[in-house]
Amino acid sequence: MSKIPSDLKYTASHEWIRREADGTLTIGITDHAQEALGDLVFVELPDVGRTLAAGEACTVVESVKAASDVYAPVAGTVVAQNEALMRAPECINQNAYDAWLFRLQPTDSKAFDALLDATAYAKEIG
């Protein structure tokens, strides 16, 4: 059974989102997603300063098995990327909620509230 922390928000495309004290959003992929992908071996992150539309493919994660896109959960501007992941993609398998991918300054601060909560995401993945 995959972990779904109750203090995070989620998308149906398996991103998790945490709102930081400064209003930025930290984004990663869920435990369910890393389990489905298997051993991760490559990560390509969005450049800092890039403007993303909601739902825009902006990150690529590749496991031994397959390549998969990660989508911006809301519109915003990239303010940080987790560079360490590019050298150690397996950190995502070890703890998907620790291994964040990138941080967004959301265009609309309320967009976060409309994302799925843990219960809704649990239902989503059945």
75 in Cβ contact with 114 (< 8 Å): no
Q: Is 120 in the site for another protein (CB under 8 A)?
A: no
Contacts of another protein in 41-80 (CB under 8 A) = 41-42, 44, 60, 62, 64-67
Which part of the chain contacts another protein (CB under 8 A), choosing from 11-19, 23-31, 33-41, 108-116? 33-41
Minimum distance, C-beta of residue 40 to another protein, in the bound complex (Å): 10
C-alpha to C-alpha distance for 82 and 19, rounded to whole angstroms: 16
C-alpha to C-alpha distance for 28 and 103, rounded to whole angstroms: 9
Closest CA to 54 of 96, 18, 15: 15
The residue count for binding another protein (CB under 8 A) is 14
Minimum distance, C-beta of residue 36 to another protein, in the bound complex (Å): 8
